[in-house]
Amino acid sequence: MEIELDDLSGPEIAEFLAEHVAQMRETSPLESKHALDLAGLREPGVTFWSARVGGRVVGCAAVQRLDDEHGEVKSMRTRPGVRRSGVGRAVLGHLVAEARGMGFRRLSLETGSAEFFAPARALYEKFGFAYCAPFADYVLDPHSVFMTLDLSAG
């Protein structure tokens, strides 16, 4: 598997992300959907990586700079056909290492509270993310769960 910076210009990644946004719309009410679309991922302050096997996109993740020391995990996704094969673990490990290299001391995320998101929450917990209060512009929402990781600790 290759995990590389992606400039979001290719049609395959655009399709992969469109599927992600569509899936988030199916699993979360519109007011609780916080996934960035392609335009949002191209904004300054967002760094995006795609994971490929044999040239095919199998996963992705991004980090959005909230301030000099705090980043947010965005658009973490694994292709449905390869879930539970280590793609998500590899992508998240890469993102955490890159976030440390970018100087972040804290990495936070918002994910869904529904059963659909349980495997993602379990993965974040394995990486040491702890549940926390809403951060940045988020507010309490029964459809959202917030987690954070202290990058200065390890």
- Residue 108 is predicted with a pLDDT of 98
**Count of all residues that appear for the chain in the document:** 154
- Residue 83 is predicted with a pLDDT of 80
Strands laid side by side in the 106-112 sheet: 2-5, 46-53, 56-65, 70-78, 106-112, 144-150, 130-131
- Residue 37 is predicted with a pLDDT of 80
- Residue 31 is predicted with a pLDDT of 63
- Please, are residues 120 and 137 in contact by the beta-carbon 8 Å criterion? no
Using pLDDT thresholds of 50, 70 and 90, give the confidence band for residue 123. Answer: very high
For domain 2-153, the CATH architecture is: 3-Layer(aba) Sandwich (3.40)
What does residue 71 show for φ and ψ, rounded to 5 degrees?
Answer: -120, 160
pTM: 0.91
Mean pLDDT of the chain: 90
- Residue 32 is predicted with a pLDDT of 56
Please give the share of the chain, as a percent, with pLDDT higher than 90: 72
Using pLDDT thresholds of 50, 70 and 90, give the confidence band for residue 105. Answer: very high
- Which region among 8-17, 86-95, 104-113, 132-141 has the lowest average model confidence (pLDDT)? 8-17
Please give the share of the chain, as a percent, with pLDDT higher than 70: 91
Query: What is the average per-residue pLDDT within 93-97?
Result: 98
- Residue 28 is predicted with a pLDDT of 64
Following DSSP, what letter does each residue of the chain receive, concatenated? Answer: -EEEE--S-SHHHHHHHHHHHHHHHHHS-GGG-----HHHHTSTTEEEEEEEETTEEEEEEEEEESSSSEEEEEEEEE-GGGTTTTHHHHHHHHHHHHHHHTT-SEEEEEEE-SGGGHHHHHHHHHTT-EE----TT----TTEEEEEEEGGG-
**11 conformational bin, left if phi > 0, alpha if psi -120 to 50, beta if neither:** alpha
pLDDT in tens, 6-50: 999 999 999 888 887 776 666 665 565 566 788 899 999 999 999
